[in-house]
Amino acid sequence: MPNESLYKIIFHNQAQVYEIYARSVGSADIFGFLEVEELLFGERSQLLVDPGEEKLKSEFSGVKRTYIPMHAIVRIDEVEKEGVAKVSDSKGQSNVSYFPTPGNQAQKPPSK
């Protein structure tokens, strides 16, 4: 299908930045999570193997649908063609700030 949407999702996971591609992205029935379905990994017949993409392939092997916490999402792009899925260290990206979420904000003691 030439008109089928394709999304690039970039998110943080355990001190690493993941970049994956999927056909379907939407809000989940689970509060605070993004639902990602139909993950895509390049099927290449080359002799060279990208270790980052292979790590993701094995990590998401057999996964029909994954739920990513909203606060971990860095960016979602609708793209025209699939790129290479990859994992990279988040070193040097410590300037990323997460939005505060209800329930985990520090409570100020009442003033007298």
Rounded CA separation 91/5 (Å): 31
| Model pLDDT for residues 36-68, shown as the tens digit of each residue | 998 887 765 455 666 767 788 888 888 889 999
Contacts by 56-65, CB closer than 8 A, 24 or more apart? 56/18, 56/20, 56/85, 56/86, 56/87, 57/85, 60/20, 63/39, 64/37, 65/35, 65/36, 65/37
| Model pLDDT for residues 62-112, shown as the tens digit of each residue | 888 999 999 999 999 999 888 888 888 776 555 555 556 665 555 555 566
Here the tokens at position 99 are 């939005």
